Structures are given as structure tokens and as C-alpha cells.
Structure 1
């Protein structure tokens, strides 16, 4: 797996997401069509694990979180950027999603969750905000951000 192959794999996914509202119905659709037992999920998870082990994913680190933006938003990815993080029992920096966020949760520890979600997908609507949190172990999380939009904030709990 190379970054170019990874981008093609992502483009196959984002082609199905382009133009859809980022809401609970999209999360239900993703988990019904590409559950953690599906070939698509397995291919994405394998690609992310390979990218981390080869050093082209999560090649930065801050505060115990490994991260990196591997793909900027382009027409090839239907306007989505792609970030991958590697987190273990930690809360990340508070941020807002101006255009929403689609997350693929890939536990490296079977019991690991991301914001309370097990392996699979979760979707945050435009304007939502959170402190991304991995609990009960270690997980990789792939973030799809429409137009790459993310705003890091200072919430009251992190002040």
C-alpha cells in the first residue's frame, strides 16, 4: 500500500458520500453498508495500519497523539480531506466541524471506543464540536472533513 493507492481507496468511499447530508441517517447508512465486518472496512483498516507502520500515516505527534493529514481536499476525493490519528486512552483537543465530520473507528485494542463508539462509523453534523476521546485502549480514527474544514477551539473543560 502506498499513499497513491490509499487515495484511490478513499476516493471510492468519498464518491458514495459526496452531496449527502452529514447527519444520523448517514451514520446509519455507513454502518449498514460498510460495517466493521465488511470488505470496505477491512481494506480501509488494513491500509491505515500499513500506513502507520510504514510511517506515511500518523507521522506527527503532540501530547501523546500521533496524527497527520494524508490527503488535502481535492476533486479526486470529492472535496474531503483525510486525517488519521492514533490515540490511546486520551482526549484530544477540542474542535468544531464547520461542515461536519465523518469518522471511521478502527480499534487496535478490541474494547477501544472513540467518543463512546466501537468499531465502525460515526458522523458529526455541521457546526458540531467535541474533544475526540479514545477510551478502553488504542484506536486509529480516520477523519473525512468536507473541504478540510476544522476549527480548534478552547472549551471550558480544557481551560
Structure 2
């Protein structure tokens, strides 16, 4: 697995997301079509684990969280940026999602939860905010941000 191959996987996914509202319907659609156990979920999880192991994902660390923006928003990614975090029993910094956020939750420990959600997808609508929290173990979380927009609370 290389960053180029990973980008191609993400581009195939974002092509399905382009132009769709970031709302509860998209959350349900992603979990139904590409939820935990699906071929795409398994592929993205394996790719993220390989990228972390190889050192090209989550190449920074702060506050007990490994993180990194692997891709800035681009046309081939349909305007989404791509970040991956590696968290274990920790809350990250509070932030808002001006245009929304799509999260792929990949527990590395079976009981790990992200904002209380198990393996699968979480869609945060435009204007939402949270302090991203992984509890009950360790998880990787992939973030897709429209136009790369995220506003950290001061």
C-alpha cells in the first residue's frame, strides 16, 4: 500500500459522495452500503493500518494523539481533504465543521468507540461541533472534510 494507491481508494469513495448533503441520510447510506464488514470498509481499514505501520499516515503527534493530513482538498478527491488520527482513550481538541465532516471509525480494539459510535461511519452536518473522543480502547479515524474546512475552538 502506497499513498498513491490510498488516494485512488479515497477518490473512488468521494466520487460517490460528491454533491450529497452531509446529513443523517448520508450517515445511514454509508453505514448500509459501506459499513463495518463491507469490502470497502475492510479495504480502507487495511490501508490505514498499513499506512500507519509504514509511517506515512499519522506522522505527527500531540496531546496523546497521532494524526496527519495525508491529502489536501483536490479535484480528484471531489474537494475533500483526508486526515487520519490514531487515538486511544482520549479526547481531542474541540472544533466545528463549517461544511460538515465524514468520519470512518476503525476500532483497533473491539470495544473502542468514537464519540460513542462503534465501527462504521459518522456524518457530522455543516455547523456541527464536537470534542472528538475515543473511549474503551484504540481506534483509527479517517476524516473527510469538504474543502478541508475545520475550525478549532480557541
Compute the TM-score of the two structures, normalised by the length of structure 2. 0.99
Q: How far 1:31 sits from its partner (Å)?
A: 0.2
Quote the offset at 1:6 in angstroms. 0.3
Post-superposition offset of 1:119: 0.1
**Unmatched tracts of structure 2, length 5 or more:** none
Matching residue of 2:121: 121
1:87 shift after superposition: 0.2
Superposition pairs of residues 1-159 of structure 1, within 5 angstroms: 1-154=1-154
Per-residue deviation, residues 92-115 of structure 1 (Å, max 9, x unmatched): 000000000000000000000000
For the residue of structure 1 that corresponds to 2:93, the secondary structure is: coil
2 CA distance for matches of 1:35 and 1:95? 25
Unaligned 5+ runs, structure 1? 155-159
Q: Residue 109 of structure 2: SS of its match in structure 1?
A: coil
* CA distance in structure 1 between the aligned counterparts of 2:35 and 2:115, rounded to whole angstroms: 18
Q: Residue 106 of structure 2: SS of its match in structure 1?
A: strand
Give the CA deviation at 1:35.
Answer: 1.3
| Runs of 4+ deviating beyond 3 Å | none
Q: RMSD over aligned Cα, in angstroms?
A: 0.4
CA distance in 2, matches of 1:108, 1:37: 14
> TM-score, length-normalised on structure 1?
0.96
Cα deviation code 1:76-133 (max 9, x no counterpart)? 1000000000000000000000000000000000000000000000000000000000
